[in-house]
Structure 1
């Protein structure tokens, strides 16, 4: 993160209403802002999980989905997914498939810090290996989707709160993550298009 990186602040309908420095937006009264989540799969349907770096402000050392982040002001969410996958995991990909265009959540850490995001969810399929950036990722591991989803759904796997809320929606899309239907980008919140 650069010191001047900004996130997009949103109203309840997903319209941009301003920006704020990323370093200052997460606190006890975090405003709704634009983000994304992505799930990286290999050709066998295994999902790439990441453990967040230990120095992260929110949920340090917590296992989560492949890559999350914030679109820059004026940047479409799809482009932000590709940018952050390259930065965090060293993955260069041609595209990302929109799955959940209007996913939103609010979570509170034990110390009171709040995360509050409108967070479209994407699928990415890769053939190469990840090269994690230690500034962002502490560890990675691949897991068969059904094993992972089952562990999250029955609370056997400790996972980030946003991922815990996303998995039930993704599970309803079908058993094979490579065959999940792609959502219409027109359903994205206006600020994410």
Structure 2
């Protein structure tokens, strides 16, 4: 099977679409604002999935983060994009996808100088099956109690992606699959 190169949706400061670009060319030291999503996956016990980014990832290699992130293709429904990415990155089917932070936006620079610059709504989902993470995406993974994750991020923020810390700080109320 031949994989089609991913394309991201470029955005103006007001969030309106201004074009598209190949994903491989977007994440640089001068990354344009683009559309993304972030997903926190919970299991039947209320635990949340954290993943450690593969060591050969271009941005933030080796850091712990939420279950997965991605980019909807031009014209793609975000919930469908989330399901597609969960399958590709984690080998996982998900259900009950809900938006938790619809207006989340961030800009961060990693140690190599690569910039993330995204309007990135944050979603929750429930795991519906077993994990089988792709080695080029995930180095390690764990299911953790949400309160323990908050404590770990607060104690050692350098071990986690900056967006995870910002998302947890922005989360109003209960950090759970029903939030």
- TM-score, shorter chain, exceeding 0.5: yes
Aligned-residue offset at 1:157: 6.8
- Does the CA-based 8 Å contact 2:95-2:127 persist in structure 1? no
- Does the CA-based 8 Å contact 2:8-2:72 persist in structure 1? yes
The verdict on how the C-alpha distance between 1:136 and 1:102 changes in structure 2, with shifts beyond 3 A counting, is same
The verdict on how the C-alpha distance between 1:29 and 1:47 changes in structure 2, with shifts beyond 3 A counting, is same
Provide the C-alpha distance between the structure 2 equivalents of 1:33 and 1:81, rounded to a whole number of angstroms: 16
Provide the C-alpha distance between the structure 1 equivalents of 2:154 and 2:127, rounded to a whole number of angstroms: 25
Provide the C-alpha distance between the structure 2 equivalents of 1:5 and 1:157, rounded to a whole number of angstroms: 29
1:44-76 Cα shifts (integer Å, max 9, x gaps): 211111111111111111111001011111112
Question: After the TM superposition, which segments of 4 or more aligned residues of structure 1 sit over 6 Å from their partners?
Answer: none
1:30 aligns with 2:31: yes
TM score, norm. by length of structure 1: 0.86
- Does the CA-based 8 Å contact 2:95-2:126 persist in structure 1? no
Which position in structure 2 is the counterpart of 1:189? none
The verdict on how the C-alpha distance between 1:10 and 1:153 changes in structure 2, with shifts beyond 3 A counting, is same
Q: How many residues align?
A: 178
Which position in structure 1 is the counterpart of 2:176? 177
Query: Gaps spanning 5+ residues in structure 1: where?
Result: 181-193
Structure with the larger strand share: 2
> What is the root-mean-square deviation of aligned Cα atoms in Å?
1.8
- Does the CA-based 8 Å contact 2:65-2:161 persist in structure 1? yes
More moved, 149-158 vs 107-116: 149-158
Which position in structure 2 is the counterpart of 1:96? 97
Which position in structure 1 is the counterpart of 2:40? 39
1:163 aligns with 2:148: no
Query: Gaps spanning 5+ residues in structure 2: where?
Result: none
1:57 aligns with 2:50: no
